[in-house]
Amino acid sequence: MKTNAARILDGLGIAYELREYNVDPDNLDGETVARKIGLPPEQVWKTLVVRGRAVYLAVVPVDAELDLKALARHTGDGRVEMVPLKEVQPLTGYIRGGVTAIGTKKAYPVFVDEMIELHDRVAVSAGVRGTQIILRPEDYLRATAATLCPIARDRR
């Protein structure tokens, strides 16, 4: 399925692969998605919607947590917090399990954990549940005009 995010990548001349998987709406966690698409969790990245003085998109591996204090330091905000789930779709145009920083309703600042550069390819949501885009990290960073910074922490 060609999504808006995929069409944007096409327009930028960025090579990618779409990988579809069966969705269980009761289990949308990223580690399950990683298993279903055959990649280790550290190569599958989730996009989180956060608010400080503005709305930001934070992108971290599915096997990590977003460090809100670290993100606040990089945005220059005193503090940031996760946006309530009911606000995610109105802000981004995407539903939970399908949020991507590529092609949101409005262009928000994007902050990506610097660990993304450790991989030759990563997977991010294609903008719908059940489809991931696999691409080179440098291409993802170019497509999202992201800022690299250390914003993830290990969940263990």
Which CATH number covers residue 146? 3.90.960.10
pTM of the model: 0.95
Q: What is the pLDDT of residue 138?
A: 98
pLDDT tens track for 79-103: 999 999 999 999 999 999 999 999 9
50 in Cβ contact with 81 (< 8 Å) = yes
Give the confidence band of 29 by pLDDT, cuts at 50, 70, 90: confident
Closest CA to 132 of 43, 37, 65, 41: 37
Q: At what angle do helices 4-12 and 137-144 cross, to 10 degrees?
A: 100
Per-residue pLDDT for 71 more than 90? yes
Residue 65, φ and ψ in degrees, nearest 5: -110, 155
**Number of domains comprising the chain:** 1
Cα 26 to chain centroid, rounded? 20
Domain extent for 18: 4-154
Per-residue pLDDT for 156 more than 60? no
pLDDT tens track for 42-51: 999 999 999 9
